[in-house]
Amino acid sequence: MKRFVRLFSFCCLMWVCYSCSSIVPLQLDTVRPARVSYKQSYPPLAVVCNAPVPDVSEYSRYIDANGKQYRMDFAGDSIPGFFTMSLASLLYESACFDSVWTLFPDSTAITGLAGLPISEVMMWREENPNAVLLSVDDIRPVARFYVEPFEGVFGVGMEIASSATVQCYIPGESPVTESVVDTVMWYAYGSSPEEARVQLPAFEMCLEEALSSLSSFVAERFVPHVQQVERYIFITSHPAMGDAYKYWKNTQYTEASYLWEYVYEKAENVGRRARAAANLALFYELKDDYKTALTYARAAHNLFMENNDVAEAAYAASYAADLESRLADALLLDTQWGE
């Protein structure tokens, strides 16, 4: 929601300040590397459930319309197992490992990829000396259910904040510890608290959704993953900029870049040159030429600063910083993918 507010505010500022120019927001999928790299390409992986059953009722609360708090009691014995299976499934789907096993502290059969009693972990490790072990050491969801009275209506919210701590054991290296937090929220309105409450999903479904969301963020620490980013195309009243955007909409990206280069190199108006440079940065980013994209993003920032375009300069600075990260990520991704 905060990201949307920032995007909306930026767009409004642009439309108000420049009646002869505008922006088109874009959502791009980018690939980010894992935080850890493995010595062996596609190693076998075992996800070990070492987390104790959390005392989920210790901090979970129900808050009524008068602000009075009550303890929320719900069973937590299935939480470690569900989270471990969800995490293992995501890591299996990443296709970054030769095989994925799940290891549990007892012999209870658990459907999924595989299940082994913890007593067999050491034996399994001896048989798989190159295997990576990922230990789920702690998983802790905290729920908050609250009622908010408004004039003639009630709002009911469910919020589940979850945290997880995992350790990654890579053969020949020191363990890597990762702690992740995530919050998922639901909200509904009604003429009474009960009418609003029944519009929310069942609590068990909310809990599973929260744990699944948390497991996706944990998985991102250990495998390359897709991350969505915001970008913008700048349009001005200059004929070449208008024609360039027409080319862009028709997926004629190279033709659009020629016109942006023309404006960047030939235009006398500093603001137009800055916008053309920002568009060229986007063009080269889409070609995975992050070095050239970074050059144009920095040029756009300098020109925006020269033209006193504060909002655009802030965007260009943030864009350049992200491109610096993508440039470094590209080298790391090649290593993680064995290229």
Over residues 291-310, the pLDDT tens digits come to: 999 999 999 999 999 999 99
56-76 average pLDDT score:
78
Q: Residue 11: its pLDDT value, please?
A: 45
235-264 average pLDDT score:
95
Beta bridge partners of 71: 61
For residues 299 and 316, what is the distance between their CA atoms, to the nearest angstrom? 9
Band (pLDDT 50/70/90 cuts) for residue 12 is very low
Class of domain 45-223: alpha beta
Where exactly does CATH 3.30.160.150 map onto the chain? Answer: 45-223
188-212 average pLDDT score:
92
Q: Which of 205, 49, 36 is nearest to 114 (CA)?
A: 49
Structural contact between residues 116 and 101, judged by C-beta atoms closer than 8 angstroms:
yes
Single pTM value for the model: 0.76
**Among all chains, which residue has been given the structure tokens 């420049």?**
18
Cα–Cα distances (Å) from 273 to 11, 181, 261, 299, in that order, read 20, 42, 9, 9
Band (pLDDT 50/70/90 cuts) for residue 122 is low
Where exactly does CATH 1.25.40 map onto the chain? Answer: 2-33+227-336
Residue-wise pLDDT for 30-49, tens only, equals: 989 988 888 778 888 999 88
The domain 2-33+227-336 is classified under which CATH number: 1.25.40, 1.20.1300, 2.60.40, 2.30.30?
1.25.40
275-289 average pLDDT score:
97
For residues 54 and 75, what is the distance between their CA atoms, to the nearest angstrom? 9
Q: Residue 69: its pLDDT value, please?
A: 83
46-55 average pLDDT score:
88
7 pLDDT more than 60: no
27 pLDDT more than 90: yes
Cα 282 from chain centre? 21
For residues 209 and 196, what is the distance between their CA atoms, to the nearest angstrom? 20
Handedness of CA 88, 92, 93, 94 (dihedral sign): positive
Structural contact between residues 301 and 321, judged by C-beta atoms closer than 8 angstroms:
no
Band (pLDDT 50/70/90 cuts) for residue 15 is very low
Strands (E), the chain: 21-32, 45-49, 61-63, 69-71, 100-104, 116-117, 132-150, 153-169, 176-190, 225-236
Greater pLDDT, 114 or 203 = 203
Band (pLDDT 50/70/90 cuts) for residue 117 is low
